[in-house]
Amino acid sequence: MPEQPYYGKNGEPKKYDPTFKGPIYNRGCTDIVCCILFIICILGYVAVGILAWSQGDPRKVIYPTDSRGQFCGQAGTPLETKPLLFYFNIMKCASPMVLLEFQCPTTQMCVEKCPDKFMTLLKAYANKEDFKYYKNFCKEGLEGLTVTQILSSGLCPAMLTPSKPFTRRCFPALGQKKGGEITVGNNSKFDDGEGNIRDAKDLVAGVKNATVVIEARQVAMKIFEDYTQSWYWILIGLVIAMLISLLFIVLLRFLAGIMVWVMIVMVILVIGYGIFHCSMEYVSLKSEAGSNVTLKDLGFQTDFSVYLHIRQTWLAFIIILAIVEVVIILLLIFLRNRILIAIALIKEASRAIGYVMSALFYPLFTFALLSIVIAYWAVTAVFLSTSNQPIYKVFNETACDHSRKICEPANFSTSSMKAECPDSKCLFAFYGGETVYHKYLIGLQFYNVFLFFWCANFVTALGQMTLAGAFASYYWALVKPDDMPAFPIFSSLGRSLRYHTGSLAFGSLILSIIQIIRVLLEYIDHKLQGTQNKCTKFLLCCLKCCFWCLEKFIKFINRNAYIMVAIYGKNFCTSAKDAFFLLMRNMIRVAVLDKVTDFLLFLGKLLIVGLVGIFAFFFFSGRVKAFENTAPNLHYYWVPILTVVVGSYLIAHGFFSVYAMCVDTLFLCFCEDLERNDGSLARPYYMSASLHDILSENKAVEETEEPTQSSLHQPDDQDVQLKQ
C-alpha cells in the first residue's frame, strides 16, 4: 500500500484519500541511523557492565574495613570470625578531617568482640591473664617487646574502654546519670593509658564524628528489618490494590458513567475523612506534654514516629488535605459540563478496551522491562562505585609535610616519610586509583546514568506506541471486530519493534538528554548551596524551571508522535510535526476535553491509593484492636505504609495509563477522521455516532455546514461496500 501523502509543508490537511483504512501494514523502517546508534550504545552499556563486574567488589559497602583494607567478617578469610571493627583511640575521631575523609586517623582492626572492661596496656602488661585478654585487641609481633616499644610501634591501643557493637563497629558504652553527667562503663572518668585521668565526656566528640557517616546506615538497617518483618503484608496490600484497580477497570467497562461519579464522591469522602481524623489527632494532643514543639525546633529525627506526637504535624496535614479538597470541589463545579462530555469519552474508551482486553495486562510487560533496566543500572552503579583500589595515606598527630599524602603500608616503616615524621602512620583512607580505568570512572558512571534514562524512556515509548497501534486498529475498523487484527497488541508490538525501533530511540534520546541536563543542574545547585551568590541561584532556578517545562512539552509531543508513527509508519520528526499541527488545529478540544479526562482518571488513581493507604495505616499502626496481635512489630510503621501507598499508585497508574493512552489515541484519530471525511455516503466517518456527538459539542471552530443525521452514525453495510 502506498504511503499516504496527507499533510502539506505547513501541516495543512490535503484532500480525501480513499485508500486509507487505518494503520498501514506495508511500511518500512524509520530513523535507521538512530536505531544503529542505539544498538551501538546498548552494546557499549553491556561492555561497561562487564568491565564493572570484573573490577568491582560490593563487599566494600557491606563489610567494615580495617587499616589494611581487609574486610571484617568476610566468609572464607582469616577474618571470618572477627566481624567487628575496633578503633585504637576513638578520641582521635573528633578531628574535623573525619568529616572530610570519612576516616578516623587511628589504627583500626577487626576483632571478635568488643572490649567489656576498663584496662590500660601498662597495667595489663604486668598481669599475665589481663595481657592475654588485651592481646585480642593488638596486632601480632608483641613477643619480647616492652610497653614503650609496643606503643611506639603502634601495635596495641594505650587503653581499652567498655564498648558495644554498633553497625559492626565498637563504640564506647556511653551513658548518662540523672544529673546529666556522661559515663562510660558506669564511670565518669577513665585512664587514657598515658597516665592521664580524663572525663568520659571527652569520648563524646569522637563517637559523634565517627557515627556521622553510619547514622544513616543504622536507619537503613532498621528499615531493612521492617521490610523483613512485613514484606508478606506489603505484598497482600499490593495484591489488594491490583484487585481493586482491576475491578474498577472492569466496572468502568460496563458502568462508566455511574463509576466516575461514584469515584468523584468517594475521593471527596476519603479526603474529608482524612481531614476529620487529622483534626481528632490534633485535638487529642492538646493535653500531651511536649506536643506544642514546632517542627523547626524539633529538627530532623531518624525516628519519624516522633513527628506524629507533634500537633504542628497534624495541622500541616489538615491544611494540605483541606486545600486539595477545595481545589477538587472547585474544579468539579467549574468543569461540570466538560466532565459530562469526558465521561462519555471514557465510555467510548471502555468499548475500545473491551475489544482489546489484553491491553490491560500490557503494563505488566512494561513493568518487567523497566525492572530489568533499573536492576541493571543499580547493579552496574554499585560495581562501578566499588571498583576502586584501597588508598593509604599518612596520618599523624604533629605537624608533618607528608600529612595526608599517599603511602605504601608494606614499606612505610623504612620509608623517608616515616623517618621525617616518626609518629606518623600509614593507614587505609578510602578506595580510589590512578589507572586509566579509575581516571575515567566518573565518565563511566555518567554513561551508566545516561543509558539508564535512555533505556527507561525507550521501554515507556514502546508501551505507548504498542497501545496506540492497537487502539488505532479499533478506531479505523469499519466493522468491529471483523476488520481488526486477531491479536491487536501483539500485532502492534511486532510492527513497533520491527519497523520503528529507530523512531522510539530517537524520541527517547531527546527526552533523555533533557533529563540528564536536569540532573546536572540539580548537581550544580547542590554543590553551590553554601554560596551566597543570589544571581547564580536565580539563574539556576530559571534554568531548572525552563528544562522542567521543556521535559513536559517533549513528553507530550513524543506521546502524540508515537500515535502518528503507529498509524502511518512515518519517521519520528514527520510524525511529531503532523501530530503537533493536528493538535494545534484542535487546541480547544485538547486543552479542555483531553485534560479533563486525565483529571478524572487521576481521581481514580487517588481513590485507589486512598483506600489502600487508609487500610494500611490502621493495620500497621495498630490503631484497630482487631489487628493488634496480627500486625508485625516494627521500628517505623510508616515504612510498609509508604511502600504500600507508592506501590498502589504505581499499580493504579499502570492500569489507568491504558485508559489514558486509549483516550489520547481515540482523540487523535477523531481529529484525523474529521479532516479526512465529511460523514457522507461516499466519505463516511469511522467514529461511532456517540463519539461524534461527544466531541462535536466541544469543537472550537465548527464547519459552516451542519451534517445531517445520516452522517453522524457508524457506517452501515451500504457505506462499507461503497467505501471499499
Cα distance between residue 318 and residue 276, in whole Å: 8
- Which residues, other chains included, contact 682 with Cβ-Cβ below 8 Å and sequence gap of 6+? 722
Helix (H) or strand (E) holding 406, with range, is none
Whether the CB-CB separation of 346 and 659 falls below 8 Å is answered with: yes
Lowest mean pLDDT among 305-319, 548-562, 569-583: 305-319
**Contacts of 200 by beta carbon, 8 Å cutoff, 6+ apart:** 172, 174, 182, 183, 184, 187, 188, 189, 190
For the chain, give every domain's residue range: 84-172, 218-382+439-690, 394-432
When pLDDT is cut at 50, 70 and 90, the band that residue 178 belongs to is: low
Q: Rounded to whole angstroms, how far apart are CA atoms 225 and 645?
A: 19
pLDDT tens sequence across 611-668: 888 888 888 877 667 666 777 777 777 788 888 888 888 888 888 888 888 888 888 8
Cα dihedral 291/294/299/305 (nearest 10): 30
Helices and strands of the chain, counted as H and E runs: 23, 12
Most confident of 133-137, 261-265, 395-399: 133-137
Query: Nearest-CA neighbor of 475 among 668, 314, 638?
Result: 668
Question: Distance between CA atoms of 199 and 214, rounded to whole angstroms?
Answer: 25
In the predicted structure, residue 5 carries a pLDDT above the cut 50? no
Of 164 and 612, which is predicted with more confidence?
612
| Residue 497 in this model has a pLDDT that exceeds 70 | yes
DSSP-based three-state secondary structure for 78: coil
Q: Which residue has the cell 479499533?
A: 474
469-485 mean pLDDT? 81
Radius of gyration of the chain (CA): 34
Quote the crossing angle between the two packed helices 336-355 and 441-475, to the nearest 10°: 90
On whether the CB atoms of residues 568 and 17 are closer than 8 A, the answer is no
The four Cα atoms 306, 312, 315, 321 give a dihedral, to 10 degrees, of -60
| pLDDT score of 294 more than 90 | no
Q: How many CB atoms within 10 Å of residue 333?
A: 8
Beta strand 174-176 pairing with 169-172: unpaired
Residues facing residue 426 across a β-bridge: 394
Predicted local confidence at residue 305, as pLDDT: 65
345 versus 664: which is more confidently predicted? 664
291 three-class SS: coil
Which of these, 61, 66, 87, 88, lies nearest to 77 by C-alpha position?
66
Q: Which DSSP helix (H) or strand (E) runs through 330?
A: helix 311-334
Q: Can you tell me the mean pLDDT for 598-620?
A: 83
Distance CA(214)–CA(65), nearest Å, equals 13
pLDDT of residue 583: 84
Alpha helices (H) along 285-310: 295-298
Residue 546 has pLDDT above 80, yes or no: yes
Mean local confidence (pLDDT), 484-497: 86
